[in-house]
Amino acid sequence: MATTERKPLLLDFEKPLAELANRIEQIRQLAEENGVDVSSQIRQLETRAMQLREEIFSSLTPTQRLQVARHPRRPSTLDYIQAITDEWMELHGDRGGSDDPALVGGVARLGGQPVVMLGHQKGRDTKDNIARNFGMASPGGYRKAMRLMEHANKFSMPIITFIDTPGALPTVVAEQGGQGEAIAYNLREMFRLEVPIICTVIGEGGSGGALGIGVGDRLMMFEHSVYTVATPEACAAILWKDSSKAPQATLALKITSNDLKNLGIIDQILTEPVGGAHSDPLQAAQTLKQALLDNLEELVRLTPQQRRQLRYEKFRAIGSFQELDVS
């Protein structure tokens, strides 16, 4: 995790918080210049700032949650891996001539246990995002992921994946390279793997690009993350031929953690620090680590056959519905 202090990037709904913080700082400076004790007033304002932050982040709309999920300083896959593991060695290449930087992975030690970790990796700035294709993996990325998962299965190491992508790389070259086949192959093969698999949506989980590493025994999701069949912009463009209707699509798609938990798609919601994971990455990482350890403790007690059967039943149940007789 980066420790360099940087000016925070503000979302629109965070502006009242910034204004209050500026006001507190101005009062503090004036008090110091004039030798006046205003500590009690500052404490009151700081308490109000914390209350306001809690009020704002406890009532975010789906569109605002999407903004938080896409925040450029939200912790990434490599941030979390470095924060929660005792050891980490990144592995490269799909053994077919490609090493996609948008999907990273390797072997690690979590709580003393050897595991394989992999996930989408976005950049921190424009240059880094371009280098990593904005976290949109190519066919080689999904083949690299599958190679690492086969390695984990061979050596009986649990698999931990981190989902954070708007979707798979949508280029002609990617399609020519077998994008659909690579993702479909991963979906099929992850169902047969015998080791525990835990998947966590840490930011934006979009389309088949997310599903390509999203088949697991447990599917967790950070509180302000989103998980969707298509980005709201793409959905709006398809349904209404108007991407400006993305907020309407965001609401209709049911992409928030609470919606998906109610629908039975995800298993667990991970609480974020007040202000989002980017406001306190280390606290978010600790929450993630504890959840991974707790779930691993349960999953390792099951036999490979039990895990595969429960994994199958879990995904077969998604999308089930009942028809009501209203006559």
Which CATH number do you get for residue 101? 3.90.226.10
* Tally of structural domains, the chain: 2
Residues 88, 219 within the same domain: yes
The residues, any chain, with a CB within 8 Å of residue 160's CB and separated by 6 or more, are: 110, 115, 116, 117, 118, 197, 198, 199, 200, 292
Residues 129, 278 within the same domain: yes
User: Is residue 2, in this structure, part of any structural domain at all?
Assistant: no
Residues 22, 139 within the same domain: no
Residues 90, 48 within the same domain: no
pLDDT value of residue 306: 96
d(CA 49, CA 311): 44
What token pair was written down for 45?
């304002």
Residues 47, 129 within the same domain: no
d(CA 254, CA 226): 9
pLDDT value of residue 314: 94
Q: What are the pLDDT tens digits along the chain (327 aa)? A: 544 445 557 777 777 777 777 887 787 777 777 777 777 777 887 788 788 888 888 889 999 999 999 998 999 999 999 999 999 999 999 988 889 999 999 999 999 999 999 999 999 888 999 999 999 999 999 999 999 999 999 999 999 999 999 999 999 999 999 999 999 999 999 999 999 999 999 999 988 999 999 999 999 999 999 999 988 998 999 999 988 899 999 999 999 999 999 999 999 999 999 889 998 999 999 999 999 999 999 999 999 999 999 999 999 988 877 777 776
User: Is residue 173, in this structure, part of any structural domain at all?
Assistant: yes
pLDDT value of residue 5: 46
State pTM to two decimals. 0.87
pLDDT value of residue 312: 94
Q: What residue numbers bound the domain in which 231 lies?
A: 65-317
User: Is residue 326, in this structure, part of any structural domain at all?
Assistant: no
pLDDT value of residue 8: 57
pLDDT value of residue 46: 79
List Cα–Cα distances, 304 to 43, 151, 300, in angstroms: 55, 16, 9
User: Is residue 4, in this structure, part of any structural domain at all?
Assistant: no
pLDDT value of residue 7: 52
Residues 20, 156 within the same domain: no
Locate tokens 């659909």: which residue? 180
User: Is residue 249, in this structure, part of any structural domain at all?
Assistant: yes
Residues 226, 82 within the same domain: yes
Q: Where are the beta strands (DSSP E) in the chain?
A: 87-91, 103-110, 113-120, 159-165, 197-206, 218-222, 226-228, 268-270
Residues 98, 33 within the same domain: no
Residues 54, 74 within the same domain: no
Q: Are 157 and 107 in contact (CB under 8 A)?
A: yes
The domain boundary, picked from 59, 75, 92, lies at 59
Residues 52, 201 within the same domain: no
Residues 43, 93 within the same domain: no
User: Is residue 213, in this structure, part of any structural domain at all?
Assistant: yes
Q: Are 193 and 304 in contact (CB under 8 A)?
A: no
pLDDT value of residue 34: 77
User: Is residue 72, in this structure, part of any structural domain at all?
Assistant: yes
Residues 18, 105 within the same domain: no
User: Is residue 1, in this structure, part of any structural domain at all?
Assistant: no
